Amino acid sequence: MVIFPAIDVRGGRCVRLTQGDYGRETIYAEDPVEQAHRFVDEGARWLHIVDLDGAREGRPVNVEPIRRIVREGGVPVQVGGGIRTLESADEWLAEGVSRVIVGTVLARDAGLAARFFERYGERVVAGIDARQGLVAVAGWREGTSEDTVTFARRMVSLGARRAIFTEIAVDGSLDGVAIEATRGLAEALRIPVIASGGVGSLADVVAVRELASVGVEGLIVGKALYEGRFRLADAIAATR
């Protein structure tokens, strides 16, 4: 299982939000590029980057710091936040990003979603964000009436090859991963799933590791690392 340390960029700085609330922001580093270097030095094999301003505005915003992370980091990077057109995806991939994460557009335009999956294959990830079992979009500010599993299966039918699942209610809480919801989604699909949200201890890492048998291939970890709950190296060791 792969541990993906998360770097959320807002206003050019490395921050974390609680439950996706832009009014509940904590700044952890002035320079996200330096933070990326620290994670790589600690053993990261991948980096998970989110352009929070992009998610809110519907277009890439924090391009320069993310570009530098991609160029200087030395490990594969997946990027999400505001990627709602094929052109935006093309630009990130041309910069050397290994995978782009697409969410909002998938819920709003099935035809465009299918084009994303057909065009990019393994290089596009379906971002599935849920609040109380229903899909949320637009930087988590808007809800939909579609339940998570139905939506995820629809994305697979359109060509999705990988998904990231985040339960918004626990994201940034340090209270534990939504294990049963993650298990249910992974069991319902035939594609790899990356879990996200709520990690607060190494026990959470171990709990997600036990889901590998149902298709969970990775775990995104953010606030727990920034708050010193455990070291990245220890989280990586706990997956073995």
pLDDT of 123-162, one tens digit each?
Answer: 999 999 998 888 987 656 666 778 999 999 999 999 999 9
Global confidence as pTM: 0.95
Burial 215-234 (b: 16+ CB within 10 A, else e): bbebbbbbbbbbeebbebee
Residues designated as active site = 8, 129
Question: Any bridge partners for residue 4, and if so which?
Answer: 220
Average pLDDT over residues 161-177: 91
DSSP SS3 for 232: helix
The confidence band for 164, taking pLDDT boundaries of 50, 70 and 90, is: very high
**pLDDT of 45 strictly over 60:** yes
Give the domain range for residue 89. Answer: 2-238
Residue appearing with tokens 């989280």: 235
Which pLDDT score is estimated for 17?
84
How far lies 141's CA from each of 34, 57, 88, 134, 172, in Å?
29, 11, 21, 13, 16
Which pLDDT score is estimated for 145?
75
* CATH number for 120: 3.20.20.70
Q: What percent of the chain has pLDDT over 90?
A: 83
**pLDDT of 11 strictly over 90:** yes
Report how far residue 160's alpha carbon sits from residue 126's, in angstroms, rounded to the nearest whole number. Answer: 6
